[in-house]
């Protein structure tokens, strides 16, 4: 008979934010699913269990009409299953086609990155979070969305405010207000460009959604654009810094990838496995079920902790090490199943082929600062929040 979900009541929330990996190891060792009191959530942390869950969307649904994401952003395809999910996914697919990425987005991203690096290359030192990663991710997403006349800082603020609103389980009024203001800003920015995109088809997401042959209802456009703003900015930003951090922390691996550029794709995958930018995302059981010997009642909310699964020693040898020479093995950093990240290929280009290679190419003898260490935070979303570096200007 399946056993009850064990409770862990001695993990502090701050521990998860600072360094979740020792707690993740404990969770993995205890059971396939554990209730973490500090997070008020049942969390799944083993690789095989999450892979199994993502193969069975009929039992483990992404649909959750009462979720905060829906309250803050509206009804999005990301929180739908089956045909309803497929319609939304199909609407954004043209933007992310490999040919479109290569011919349209890659040259634009290259120009954005060049301009950003030009602006600080002579200084000899910078904090890579505000100087490169945040504006790079924001400006690239802006172009992919099809927004005009919005600053990168505004888009970044909207993104953070929407994410905070979607995670505001304590219903803090100020957080709710900021999320509502961001939602209004996004709606206005859509309004300002939608007719143009409808009249002039182009590779942007708004243009695909507004396409005259199969236009998406405006409420859905608004919700889906918000979910993409919430889910398409932090992750490439964090992946840029994490990949740079992994290489700066190990000169042998850095030299290997600089000598053999064909290693960049493996280095990117390893960065996303090592410190997964999305550490956890939700699912809900549609019926009573047995997850590898643990009983889950119908309607149970669970968090799929891919940040923990990507460090599962049952799957990866020496999982805590950043090692670009690992045998090729799929990870869960981009999710799995029907909701596998729509932006995975574009991120592989943006981060692993453009931003980080250009960073090492343009900044000779790039190194971390011994007097000002990088700071990494988060568990639901995780990445460096500060990364001061020096180079030979
Ligand atoms: C390194 C960068 C990225 C990582 C690690 C990442 C990770 C993920 C993960 C784990 C999911 C699954 C979430 C879930 O099932 O609830 C996801 C979904 C998604 N991602 Fe990404 N993402 C990245 C970049 C991007 C970018 C740049 C975009 C868009 C411009 C994007 C758009 C999406 C969308 C639309 C979904 C929802 C897919 C669906 O529900 O069918 N992602 N991503």
Q: Which pLDDT value is given to residue 29?
A: 97
3-state secondary structure of 317: coil
Alpha-carbon dihedral sign for residues 68, 217, 139, 306: positive
- Ligand 1 centroid – CA 271 distance (Å): 16
Q: Which pLDDT value is given to residue 244?
A: 98
- Ligand 1 centroid – CA 341 distance (Å): 4
pLDDT in tens, 54-91: 999 999 999 987 778 888 898 889 989 999 899 889 99
pLDDT in tens, 174-207: 999 999 999 999 999 999 999 999 999 999 999 9
Domains of the chain: 7-390 (1.10.630.10)
Alpha-carbon dihedral sign for residues 191, 192, 195, 201: negative
130 HSE (CA, 13 A, CB side):
6
pTM here? 0.97
- Ligand 1 centroid – CA 17 distance (Å): 21
CB neighbour class for 12 (10 Å; exposed up to 12, middle 13-18, buried from 19): exposed
Q: Which pLDDT value is given to residue 333?
A: 98
Q: Which pLDDT value is given to residue 376?
A: 98
Q: Which atom of ligand 1 is closest in space to residue 306's alpha carbon?
A: 10
Tell me which residues of the chain have a pLDDT lower than 50.
Answer: none
pLDDT in tens, 367-381: 999 999 999 999 999
Alpha carbons 170 and 58: distance in angstroms, whole number: 30
Could you report how far apart the first and last alpha carbons of the chain are, in Å? Answer: 65
Alpha-carbon dihedral sign for residues 14, 17, 18, 19: positive
Our mutation pick for probing the ligand 1 site, out of 53, 231, 264, 271, counting the most ligand atoms within 8 A of Cβ, is 231
Residue 239 in contact with ligand 1 by CB distance below 6 A: yes
- Ligand 1 centroid – CA 31 distance (Å): 27
Alpha carbons 327 and 104: distance in angstroms, whole number: 32
- Ligand 1 centroid – CA 86 distance (Å): 15
């Amino acid at each position: 008979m399946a056993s009850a979900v064990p409770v862990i009541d001695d993990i502090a929330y701050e521990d998860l934010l600072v360094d979740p990996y020792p707690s993740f190891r404990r969770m993995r060792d205890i059971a396939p699913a554990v209730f973490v009191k500090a997070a008020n959530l049942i969390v799944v942390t083993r690789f095989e269990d999450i892979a199994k869950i993502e193969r069975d969307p009929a039992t483990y649904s992404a649909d959750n009409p009462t979720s905060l994401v829906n309250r803050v952003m509206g009804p999005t395809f990301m929180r739908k299953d089956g045909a309803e999910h497929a319609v939304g996914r199909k609407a954004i697919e043209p933007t992310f086609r490999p040919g479109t990425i290569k011919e349209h987005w890659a040259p634009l991203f290259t120009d954005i990155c060049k301009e950003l690096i030009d602006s600080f290359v002579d200084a000899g030192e910078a904090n890579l979070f505000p100087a490169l990663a945040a504006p790079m991710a924001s400006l690239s997403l802006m172009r992919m969305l099809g927004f005009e006349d919005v600053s990168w800082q505004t888009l970044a603020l909207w993104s953070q405010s929407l994410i905070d609103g979607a995670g505001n389980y304590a219903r803090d009024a100020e957080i709710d207000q900021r999320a509502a203001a961001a939602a209004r800003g996004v709606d206005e920015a859509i309004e300002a460009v939608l007719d143009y995109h409808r009249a002039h088809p182009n590779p942007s997401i708004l243009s695909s959604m507004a396409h005259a042959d199969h236009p998406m209802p405006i409420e859905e456009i608004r919700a889906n654009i918000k979910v993409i703003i919430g889910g398409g900015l932090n992750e490439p930003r964090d992946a840029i810094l994490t990949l740079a951090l992994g290489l700066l922390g190990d000169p042998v691996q850095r030299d290997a990838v600089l000598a053999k550029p064909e290693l960049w794709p493996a280095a990117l995958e390893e960065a996303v496995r090592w410190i997964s930018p999305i550490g956890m995302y939700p699912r809900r059981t549609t019926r009573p079920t047995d997850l590898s010997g643990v009983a889950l009642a119908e309607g149970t909310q669970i968090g799929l902790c891919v940040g923990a699964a990507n460090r599962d020693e049952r799957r990866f040898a020496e999982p805590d090490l950043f090692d670009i020479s690992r045998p090729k093995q799929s990870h869960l950093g981009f999710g799995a199943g029907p909701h596998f990240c729509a932006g995975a290929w574009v991120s592989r280009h943006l981060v692993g082929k453009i931003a980080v290679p250009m960073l090492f190419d343009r900044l000779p003898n790039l190194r971390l600062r011994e007097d000002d260490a990088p700071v990494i935070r988060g568990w639901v979303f995780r990445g460096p929040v500060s990364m001061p570096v020096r180079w030979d200007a």
